[in-house]
Structure 1
Amino acid sequence: MFSYRHGFHAGNHADVLKHMVLIAVLKHLTAKPTPISVVDTHAGAGLYRLDSDFAGTSGEAQDGIVKLLASPLAAAPPPLLADYLELIATFNPKGKPKIYPGSPFVTQALLRQDVKDKLWLFELHPTDSKSLATHVEQLHAGRQVNLKREDGFDGLRAHVPPVQRRGLVLIDPSYEIKTDYQRVATAIQESLKKFPTGTYMVWYPVIPRPEAHELPRRLKTLATQAGKSWLHAVLNIGQKPETPGEPPANKGLTASGVFLVNPPHTLKPALQQVLPALVEVLGRGRGQSQVIEAGG
């Protein structure tokens, strides 16, 4: 259960998609003066070094944020991507990307102290939970950030609806075990009944497993049954070409998706502008593609 460590994957193409969309949602929510509450059900360690043994072993950031920053697209990015790159740059003031912020630090960077926004972080992994606590202490954020070492699916139930009656729920488990897919769908179904006006964002890996392909279809059904709008986006960078005479490379994750319930109305056109450009920059071979669909 505890074999997954996001440090191996920090800054990869899936993080680019997830955090770009997360920033867009948070900017939309914080544009209004009333406070928001954010629940991050699987927070991870919070901060990651791209030159660590974890990141260095996988090399996934090289096909993600590192490749993106070295591309012409980074010099003149569309607005959605520009916001993402600007935030990443605040963690790397010397230019070269060495630190990559996970969703807790991406979120906290956009929350407001003066209107009492709140962030609830859940992480069950013993090592990552300890690292997260250490990293959060560096923020000196006081009561704005609340960290709990417990199952995020269980913790979510106690925090919807939030006192603020506005907010975001981010759900991105490791999907190490097949039951995670069912738990994601159940969490969305239960939460929509208690907090129908909240924005919900689910990240998932696109892998050859029936549960992975069924998840966005189930989420569409749940959103439609609840009478809520939804948005689904997928970034697929394709298979890395094999070099003749060398053993086959570890293909790793080639695609991931995000599914949102009650998304900002501006998000679909913004993604339509940026995702094709990301495929062109990060794409590496057979199967590269992008999907953007919405309903409700």
Structure 2
Amino acid sequence: MLAYRHAFHAGNHADVLKHLVLGQVLRYMGEKDKPYTLIDTHAGAGGYSLEGRYAQKKGEYAMGVGKLFDRKDLPPGLAAYVQQVKDFNEDGQLRQYPGSPAIAKGLLRPDDRMRLFELHSTDFRIVESYMKDRPNTQVSDKDGFAALKGELPPPSRRAVVLMDPSYEIKSDYAKVLTAVREGLQKFAETVLIVWYPQIQLLEAAQLPQRLKATGDTMAKKGWLHVRLTVAQPDERGFGMLGSGLFIANPPFVLHDMLAAELPYLVDKLGQFDGANYVLEQRSV
């Protein structure tokens, strides 16, 4: 787990989907005057060089944000997301990619609280330094899974949780499910975003169904599930085909935005003719 570095995958198709949704959720939360708390259980380094050896090893960003960066026909949600990436690159060239903490830092107001957790010692030091001047922010090298229930409910009783572990070890799937259940038990109105990879693994295939079953009984305002499939398995039957997000208590505007913009993502990021998306919602 501690060997994982997100820099290898920064800006890929999964980051595009994750940060499109995260940005939309945070903008919606910011429409009300009352502050809220963002809890990021696996914060990473906060930002990543796309010119460094990690990102260059596979160049995954070229098939993700690189496909969108210079386009003039982006629909509104994706346009806002790409603008944040551009704002992270002062010279107008795609050299850096903002991680989830940087996406959030650009959208949260000074009174909104941030609680970031990162176990990797190098990434922890980087994100801690990046956030040192932001008010109402705590960066911790504790286990985000274990720390989550202690953060809920927050003082303002408005919260967004982002949970996107590496899933490098299979036990992460069970830990995600446990943390979701504990989080919703502590605060049933939490807007809880879970990212997962679409890979040829039983645990990965079962996780969305288990999350939806949990949401059916524990999420006060229902749930939304989105999956973007962009690739086929390799010749051995392996590889990341796409990724998905489960959102408990989603903003009511999120479904319609995704329904309008996912076809565009399939068209621009799809790597084979069968590229597709799934969008499901259960309202309460």
Of 215, 218, 231, 1:223 maps to 215
Aligned length: 282
Q: Are 1:120 and 2:110 counterparts?
A: no
State the one-letter code of the partner of 1:229: G
Query: Match of 1:101, as an amino acid?
Result: P
Structure 2 counterpart of 1:166, one-letter code: R
Residues 208 and 252 of structure 1: CA distance in aligned 2, closer, same or farther (over 3 Å): closer
Name the aligned partner's letter for residue 155 of structure 2.
Answer: V
Structure 2 residues without counterparts, runs of 5 or longer: none
Given that residues 238 and 289 in structure 1 are in contact (C-alpha distance below 8 angstroms), is that contact kept between their aligned partners in structure 2? no
For residues 144 and 9 of structure 2, the distance between their equivalents in structure 1, rounded to whole angstroms, comes to: 20
TM-score (norm 1): 0.91
- CA deviation after TM superposition for structure 1 residue 8, in Å: 0.2
- CA distance in 2 between counterparts of 1:250 and 1:121 reads 36
1:31 equivalent to 2:23? Answer: no
1:41-83 alpha-carbon deviations (Å, 9 max, x no partner): 000011101101000012100101112224xxx3121111111
C-alpha deviation, 1:193, in angstroms: 1.4
Does residue 1:80 correspond to 2:77, yes or no? yes
Deviations 1:91-128 (A, max 9, x none): 11322111111001111111111xx1100000001121
Q: Which residue of 2 aligns with 1:183?
A: 175
Give the match for residue 256 of structure 2. 269
C-alpha deviation, 1:134, in angstroms: 2.4
Structure 1 residue 23, shift from structure 2 partner: 0.3
Show the counterpart of 2:166. Answer: 174
Separation in structure 1 between the aligned mates of residue 232 and residue 52 of structure 2, nearest angstrom: 25
Residues 224-267 of structure 1: CA deviation (Å, up to 9, x unaligned): 11254110111111239x9xxxxx79974230001100001111
Instruction: Give me the whole-angstrom Cα distance separating, in 2, the residues matched to 1:210 and 1:4.
Output: 21
What pairs up with 1:197-276 in 2 under 5 angstroms?
A: 197-226=189-218, 227-239=220-232, 252-276=239-263
The equivalent residue for 2:97 is 100
SS in 1 for 2:94: coil
Residues in 1 aligned to 2:85 and 2:226: alpha-carbon distance in whole angstroms: 22
**If the length of structure 2 is used for normalisation, what is the TM-score?**
0.95
Per the alignment, in what secondary structure is the counterpart of residue 280 of structure 2?
strand
Say which SS state the counterpart of residue 26 (structure 1) adopts. Answer: helix
CA–CA distance in structure 2, aligned partners of residues 178 and 97 of structure 1? 34
Residue of structure 2 equivalent to 1:4: 4
Kept after mapping to 2: 8 A contact 1:239/1:286: no
Contact 1:9 1:60 in 2 (8 A): yes
1:245 aligned residue: none
Look up the equivalent residue of 2:212 and give its one-letter code: K
Structure 1: distance between partners of 2:238 and 2:92: 29
